[in-house]
């Protein structure tokens, strides 16, 4: 069987999983939420690398993994070289979709909505310099929005006023026509963002591009199927609620992973 591992600090990475699963419905999926260290947004580079190696390494001991996807923008900006040096299977990262956003924008004013950790990374600055030299790139780094997206995913509720406060600098920017959803959690609140930013024509997330990248590195998936499994790195207070959400996304159960 073909086994694809995805991990994130929370459940936002499920947006990437969903796009990959649509491309490869017969693969076996392992998903790990590193909730013991949620959110990753302001964690240090050494800690992010340490967590990446521990999580991927522990699951690689238990399963034969064919592909690993770092389903988190913040982690992907720093952990990919270490993972690729340590493991033989392909490792795909998730980075803000700056290149396609710059191509889409008609006004050449684009917004990068990401975590505080992501907007400050040198890697992201390099992407902007390389692909969006002809654009004005407005940045908002928000940890609170990650938490709001997780809450909506589990309860179906979102504080619209709180969300509006997070993106307040953009609400009167009539030139802004493209927003990059630079965190895998943020597509979960895309509908509300569209309500609050009616001038924005394009909301760009990396999920489809990641699925394309996985397909280019993993062209063949066998038909042998096995149950999809989800893992957490500490038992959450709302374990049953999280497990229910994960079951709705196609995972048979939620297991605590000792890392």
Residues annotated in a binding site: 8-9, 40-41, 73-74, 184-185
Contact present, 67 and 218 (Cβ < 8 Å): yes
Contact present, 13 and 71 (Cβ < 8 Å): yes
How do beta strands 67-70 and 253-256 pair?
unpaired
72 given a catalytic annotation: yes
32 given a catalytic annotation: no
Please identify which of the residues 32, 135, 183, 232 carries the catalytic annotation. 183
- Please report where in the chains the tokens 């590195």 appear, as a residue: 217
Residue 187's contacts (CB-CB under 8 Å, 6 or more residues apart) are 15, 181, 205, 207
Which residues fall in the annotated binding site for substrate? Answer: 8-9, 40-41, 73-74, 184-185
**Starting from the edge strand earliest in sequence, which strands make up the sheet with 67-70, in order?**
91-92, 67-70, 3-8, 28-33, 229-232, 253-256
Contact present, 111 and 139 (Cβ < 8 Å): yes
Helices (H), ranges, 63-205: 73-86, 98-104, 116-119, 122-131, 144-155, 160-166, 190-196
**Which residues form the catalytic set?**
72, 183
């Amino acid at each position: 069987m073909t086994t694809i591992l995805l991990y994130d600090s929370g459940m936002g990475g499920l947006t990437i999983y969903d796009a990959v699963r649509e491309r490869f419905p017969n693969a076996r999926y392992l998903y790990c939420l590193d909730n013991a260290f949620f959110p990753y947004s302001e964690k240090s580079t050494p800690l992010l690398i340490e967590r990446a190696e521990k999580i991927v390494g522990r699951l690689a001991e238990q399963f034969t993994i064919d592909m690993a996807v770092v389903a988190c923008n913040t982690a992907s900006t720093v952990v990919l070289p270490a993972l690729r040096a340590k493991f033989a299977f392909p490792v795909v990262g998730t980075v803000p979709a700056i290149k396609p956003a710059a191509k889409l924008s008609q006004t050449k004013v684009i917004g990068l909505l990401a975590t505080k950790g992501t907007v400050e990374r040198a890697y992201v600055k390099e992407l902007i310099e390389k692909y969006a030299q002809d654009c004005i790139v407005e940045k908002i780094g928000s940890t609170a929005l990650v938490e709001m997206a997780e809450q909506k995913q589990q309860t179906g509720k979102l504080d619209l006023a709180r969300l509006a406060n997070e993106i307040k600098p953009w609400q009167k920017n009539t030139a802004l026509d493209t927003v990059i959803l630079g965190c895998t959690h943020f597509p979960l609140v895309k509908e509300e963002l569209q309500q609050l930013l009616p001038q924005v024509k394009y909301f760009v997330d990396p999920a489809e591009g990641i699925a394309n990248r996985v397909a280019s590195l993993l062209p063949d998936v066998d038909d042998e199927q096995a149950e999809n499994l989800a893992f957490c790195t500490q038992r959450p207070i709302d374990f049953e609620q999280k497990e229910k959400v994960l079951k709705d996304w196609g995972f048979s159960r939620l297991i605590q992973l000792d890392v």
